[in-house]
Amino acid sequence: MTTPTALATDEARTRLHELTVIDVRTPGEYAGGHLPGALNIPLDRIQRALPDFRHATEHGDVLVVCASGARSENAGRILAENGVTTATLSGGTGAWAADGHELHHPQGASRATWGMERQVRLTAGAIVLLSLLLGLVVHPAFQLLSAGIAGGLVFSALTNTCGMAALLAKLPHNRPRTADLHNTLAALRNR
C-alpha cells in the first residue's frame, strides 16, 4: 500500500497503530510533546538513519512529523531522494494538538526546550536590537547586521528554509545524546 504524501490529523490518528511515526524536531521540542509512539530522529540525523528507515518501510508506512510541517517536508524530500517513501502530517504537531489529539511526553523529561521557531525569533530579535544599539553607541556600520538579519528572514520565508534554525539546532540543548539516538535507531530497526 502506498502512503499519501500528506495525512490530515484525523486520518493519521485513525492509522496511528499501523504507522511508524518519526518526529524530526530537536530532542527538546520532542520532549515538549509528541505524537503517541513517535520516535525522535532530528532532521540533521536523517542521513545517518537511512538504512533504518528503509527497514521500517519494509514493515509498514512511515509518517514524518515536525512542529508545523516544514521540517518534515524537508525530511520527506531527503528520504525520497534516497528511495524511501514516507508521508508527512499536515500542520505537524501544532495541528495535531489544535485538533484536540493527545500529545505524549517522555518519562523523566525535564522542562522542554523552546520550540525552534521561538528560538529563532529570540535570536533574530536579540541580534537586531543589539546591532541597532551598537550602531547608535559604537559605529553606524553595526546597523548593517540588522539589515542582514532582515534579509535572512525574507529569504527564509521565500524558500521555506531557515539557516538560523539549522545553526541553533546544533546547540547542545537541541542535540540528542549519542545513547538516545542509538536507542531510537535500534527501536526503529526492531519495528
- Indicate whether 128 pLDDT > 50: yes
**Cα angle, residue 66 at apex, residues 54 and 2 outer, rounded to 5°:** 40
pLDDT, tens only, 49-84:
999 888 888 888 999 999 888 889 989 999 999 988
pLDDT at 177: 67
Contact of 131 with 142, CB cutoff 8 Å: yes
pTM for the full predicted model: 0.73
- Indicate whether 178 pLDDT > 80: no
Comparing 181 with 82, the larger pLDDT belongs to 82
